[in-house]
Structures are given as C-alpha cells and as structure tokens.
Amino acid sequence: MTGWRRICCAVDFSDPSRSALNEAADLARRFRAELTVIHVREDPGLVSAARDAPPEPLRRAAAELEPKLAAWRAGAQLAATHPVHSAVLVGAPAAEILRFVARESFDLLVVATHGRTGIKHPVLGSVAERVVRDATCPVLVVRWPGAWAGKDRVREGGARCSALPV
C-alpha cells in the first residue's frame, strides 16, 4: 500500500475540479493524510507587473478568492476528517502547481481533466497534461463523469480516474 501522507489537489472551481477534490478528500481520509487544496489565479497582467512591482497586487488578487476556496476546503474537511489546508497562487496554472508541489514535497497531486478532445484540446491546452508530464510526484488525474456522456467506450461502472505515476 502506498504511503501517501501529503496530498495536494488543484482546483479551478469547475465541476470536474469538484470531482477531483472529492477523490482527494476520500484518499486523505483513507490514508490519514494531510490535504492541501490549491487554486491558481491566472492573471497575466498581475504576473508581469509583479516582476517590477511589490507583491501587494498579487496578495489582493489571492485574497479575492479566499472565501470561495475556504468553502471548498470546508467541504473537503468534512469528507477527509483530517486537517485540510488551502492556498491561492497567481500565475500560469501548470507552472505554479508544479512549483508549489515540488517546494512543499507532496506525495500525491490530484487534478481534474475536463475531457476535451479535438480542436478544443490544442487550442485551450491542458494543464493536467503539462502537470502529469513534469510533476515530481505521482499524479492522479480525475476525469469528470459528465465528460463521459455519449461516449460509447465508457461502460456503466467504468473507472472514474487513472493513476499516472511520474
């Protein structure tokens, strides 16, 4: 059995992220692990301004999201039954997630995938794909059950997620 003690879950406040957080909280409960929920606010103007300015605008941007993240953290806390922490980061989502996970030495990272394919995938990019490729720890990619609608390759009772060790 894996000794996951520190789990991080990245959320973007979407339905797929809710599914990922539910899985992360369940794993935290089962493994008696610490869970940290993070959200990355992507704001190119703030990030570029931060290079030459004091970090105050970044702190204000993060503070705006704290109440929403606190509500998600509280829900995870109920399911996990162990302390759940949270953090708001500002920058490019994949880069900030990877930096945070490496710096804090997490044992597992949980992320959602929106299940986009075709033209939407290359145009919008995939944070999950970049994170899986470059993470310093195992990554659990949770596919939102709503993404399966109408896809005949997924059977009733099929797997909801894929563990992707890095």
pLDDT tens readout for residues 124-144: 348 888 999 999 999 999 987
Q: What are the strands, taking DSSP E only, across 42-103?
A: 84-90
How many whole angstroms separate alpha carbon 127 and alpha carbon 109? 13
82 within some domain: yes
Identify which has the larger pLDDT, 145 or 13: 13
Structural domain count, the chain: 1
Q: Which of 99, 131, 119 minimizes the C-alpha distance to 20?
A: 131
| 8 A C-beta contact, residue 132 and residue 163 | no
125 within some domain: yes
Residue 17, pLDDT > 70, answer yes
Domain that holds residue 44: 6-164
pLDDT of residue 20: 96
1 within some domain: no
Query: Could you tell me the pTM of the whole model?
Result: 0.77
How many whole angstroms separate alpha carbon 129 and alpha carbon 77? 27
How many whole angstroms separate alpha carbon 146 and alpha carbon 150? 9
pLDDT of residue 161: 47
154 within some domain: yes
20 within some domain: yes
Q: Residue 144 has which token pair?
A: 């939102």
The whole-chain average pLDDT of the chain stands at 80
| 8 A C-beta contact, residue 38 and residue 13 | no
Looking at the DSSP bridge assignments, the partners of residue 140 are 110, 163
pLDDT of residue 164: 43
Q: Which residue has the tokens 């970044």?
A: 58
Query: Which domain CATH number covers 18?
Result: 3.40.50.620
78 within some domain: yes
28 within some domain: yes
| 8 A C-beta contact, residue 89 and residue 40 | yes
